Copies of this chain bind each other. A is one copy, B any other.
């Protein structure tokens, strides 16, 4: 179904919002990852939701899905597209802004933030 937005910000938000999408994009920003890698890095996500979020990102052209391995124990690998990489700059800025803001107020905390997007700067 065709999605309508009233401005570009909403369009962008429609693509990157989702409970796990920022984290997925962060991990995929480093290198391509297999499904099981992602599950290890996001231990509390369910298989269903992981597949769902990845499918949405794929549908929006942010990542691609490769199946390698002729027979069963399939190796499914997800990887950023050029479009996905073009989001990097924005994500880094959002990350810095958010981290800075969280450091200012007591009612906002960033846990588990080992590196995060800031690391993407070191490319």
Instruction: Tell me the A residues contacting B by CB distance below 8 Å.
Output: 1-13, 15-17, 22-23, 25-26, 61, 83, 86-87, 89-91, 93-102, 105-113, 116-118
Contacts and interface: CB of A to CB of B under 8 A. Distances in A.
B8 A108 contact: no
Contacts of A61: 101, 105
Please state the number of chain copies in the assembly.
2
Contacts of A90: 90, 93-94, 97
A4 to B, nearest CB: 5
A34 to B, nearest CB: 21
A91 B8 CA distance: 9
Contacts of A113: 6-8
A110 to B, nearest CB: 5
Contacts of A87: 97
